[in-house]
Amino acid sequence: MNYLRLLGVFFRVSVMDELAYRVNFFVQLFQSLLELATALGGLAVVFSFTDTLGGWTPDEVLALIGVYFLVGGIIGLVIQPGMEELISSVRDGSLDFLLTMPEDAQLLVSIHRVEIWKLIDIVLGLGVLVTAILRLGARVGAAQAGYFAAMVIAGAAIIYSFWLILATLSFWFVRVENILEIFASMYEAGRWPVSLYPGWLRFALTFIVPVAFATTVPAEALIGRLSGETLLGASAVAVALLAASRLFWLIGLHRYSGTSA
């Protein structure tokens, strides 16, 4: 509970910071709407020539686009800002300040920066999801909703661990922010079902850069296509990666020597 309270505090600080720059809200809204228009426009063009894409109907791909924006928003809201800050604070030594605080350092690093305008992406994503669910109708029941929530959490945990592992590399190598840039361009491939891609690319998007867990898997859970094995598998991967990233973080932190040490 203490952690949630801390997250609330950091969130409030970010809100107070950002309210000084209110135009940013409209700029972000404008950019998010353009991005959504591009995604929906692409969908409309493709489905004007076909009824199914790799076995997915238009409404199912619409649900996927909703997930893409929702999870992208979560990543942009807390995961990405925190990890970028971590990398730069290892480089300039300001991580010292965080380490002296009486809370777990990994937790502080992960939640102490919040990019509040990314809430717009989350709201837009939820809007698209609701539209898709209404169109899919009776196919989405309580069980699907439950699996969906579980898979969004698992996907976010997998992406978080993935970023934490990469960001922790900055204890050894000074310039790693470029690797995170690659994630951004790979994430765009998640706008389409990964089952569409040839095996080698599907493999890369699942196990090298885990985009599939963040987008396709939750969408499959929602539309009732997810097999029990994938559900268990994704949950297991999430738990394993959380543990692995924690371990790696502790090893990395051990190496950190700070500015004055």
Q: Is the CB of residue 59 less than 8 Å from the CB of residue 136?
A: yes
Please report whether residue 35 would count as binding another protein according to CB under 8 A: yes
Please report whether residue 207 would count as binding another protein according to CB under 8 A: no
Binds another protein by CB under 8 A, chosen from 2, 5, 181, 257:
181
Please report whether residue 42 would count as binding another protein according to CB under 8 A: yes
Closest to another protein by CB, 54 vs 258, is 54
Stretch that binds another protein, among 110-118, 174-182, 233-241, 243-251 (CB under 8 A): 174-182
Binds another protein by CB under 8 A, chosen from 186, 231, 239, 253:
186
Q: What is the DSSP string of 169-203?
A: GGGT-S--HHHHHHHHHHHGGGGS-GGGS-HHHHH
Spatial distance between the Cα atoms of 78 and 107, rounded to a whole number of angstroms: 12
DSSP 8-state code for residue 93: S
Please report whether residue 27 would count as binding another protein according to CB under 8 A: yes
Please report whether residue 247 would count as binding another protein according to CB under 8 A: no
Please report whether residue 182 would count as binding another protein according to CB under 8 A: yes
Q: What is the DSSP string of 145-168?
A: HHHHHHHHHHHHHHHHHHHHHHHH
Could you tell me the two tokens for 156? Answer: 């976010």
Q: Is the CB of residue 92 less than 8 Å from the CB of residue 103?
A: no
Three-state DSSP class for residue 222: helix
Q: How many residues bind another protein (CB under 8 A)?
A: 32
How deeply is 212 buried, as exposed, middle or buried, from its count of CB atoms within 10 A (0-12, 13-18, 19+)?
buried
Binds another protein by CB under 8 A, chosen from 2, 20, 142, 185:
185
The minimum distance between CB 38 and another protein, in angstroms, equals 6
Please report whether residue 20 would count as binding another protein according to CB under 8 A: no
* Residues within window 86-145 making contact with another protein, judged by CB under 8 A: none
Binds another protein by CB under 8 A, chosen from 100, 178, 227, 260:
178
Please report whether residue 175 would count as binding another protein according to CB under 8 A: yes
| Rounded alpha-carbon distances, angstroms, from residue 103 to 4, 107, 147, 189 | 13, 8, 33, 37
Residue 53 sits at φ, ψ, to 5 deg, of: -125, 110
Q: Is the CB of residue 165 less than 8 Å from the CB of residue 77?
A: no
The minimum distance between CB 50 and another protein, in angstroms, equals 5
Please report whether residue 188 would count as binding another protein according to CB under 8 A: yes
Please report whether residue 199 would count as binding another protein according to CB under 8 A: no
The minimum distance between CB 36 and another protein, in angstroms, equals 11
How deeply is 118 buried, as exposed, middle or buried, from its count of CB atoms within 10 A (0-12, 13-18, 19+)?
buried
Could you tell me the two tokens for 179? Answer: 């690797």
Q: Under the rule (CB under 8 A), what is the footprint of another protein?
A: 23, 27, 30-31, 34-35, 37-38, 41-42, 45-46, 49-54, 175, 178, 181-182, 185-186, 188-189, 191-192, 196-198, 201
